[in-house]
Amino acid sequence: MTLDLISSARAFGGEQRVYRHASSATGTPMEFSAFLPGQALRGEACPTLVYLSGLTCTWENVTTKGGYQRMAADCGLIVIAPDTSPRGEGVADDAAYDLGQGAGFYLDATEKPWAPHFRMESYIAEELPSLLLDTLPVWDTAIGITGHSMGGHGALTLAMKHPELFRTVSAFAPIVNPSTCPWGEKALSAYLGTDRAAWRHHDACALVESRGWQGDILIDQGSADGFLDEQLRPWAFDEACRKAGVPLTLRMQGGYDHSYYFVSTFLADHLEWHAERLTG
């Protein structure tokens, strides 16, 4: 499998790149952004952080609004930002923003019409890491994952399901209990069907209870987030972590909302947090 370089721009001694490739997991072209610090440009293997975006987003949102490149350069950290779903003609979609293209929920769909292309867990946890290891100077024992909102859900669930791959995990305003919130119930029933037992394999609260986690977890949540009470409810994950004995730092950030103003304020903290743990 080959990567096509779409764009490249110099930043803080490294390069911000965008790649496209044909995906066997989704059966579509997929794009992702990759920040390579100076060390990576010189061919040195670097720790890597995967950032998963939220509903309606692509790789572009965090790449242009996150402001993480300086910290990534300082930490010698590769940052990968994939898309949120397969896209294109022939790919199933929905008129609503919270289902279909832009709303893949980082799972492998089993229901029609989504199953042929919506295989985002296989893409993020299998195909993309293999591709990165084959083509970029990624340190294979030092990969972390983070994300925002739906991407925070993806980061938490994929880390706990694939601990041999993801060594660290954090999140921004994640959907922690999709089995019991409107966004999650809509998506999980559409993609996986009505068997709620199957939903638990994609629910961070259920997964931390059944699988635990090998390290600590960092979550930032804005107290002025309009989705806090109905969709996010981080206190449910806090309680689940306490029961499972998993160390969680849940930082409620006063006055912050759900936007990239919030994410960009604390994203450098998360990069530094991951880099410290990935490099030992």
- 107, 155, 203 from 163: Cα distances, Å: 16, 11, 16
Residue type, 107: L
Catalytic residue among 149, 153, 203, 220: 149
Phi, psi (degrees; rounded to nearest 5) at 124: -75, -40
Q: Angle, nearest 10°, between helix axes 234-244 and 204-211?
A: 0
Query: Does residue 24 have an active-site annotation?
Result: no
How far apart (Å, rounded) are the C-alpha atoms in residues 270 and 102? 24
Residues 6+ apart with CB under 8 A from 34: 16, 17, 18, 19, 78, 79, 80, 81, 136
Beta strands in 158-253 (DSSP E): 168-172, 217-222, 248-253
Catalytic residue among 117, 225, 270, 274: 225
Of 125, 130, 128, 104, the C-alpha closest to 115 is 104
DSSP conformation class of 229: I
Query: Does residue 225 have an active-site annotation?
Result: yes
Catalytic residue among 117, 258, 270, 274: 258
Is the Cα torsion angle 127, 130, 134, 135 positive or negative in sign?
positive
Of 60, 8, 57, the C-alpha closest to 32 is 60
Task: Give me 13's structure tokens.
Answer: 């001694």
Catalytically active residues, by annotation: 149, 225, 258
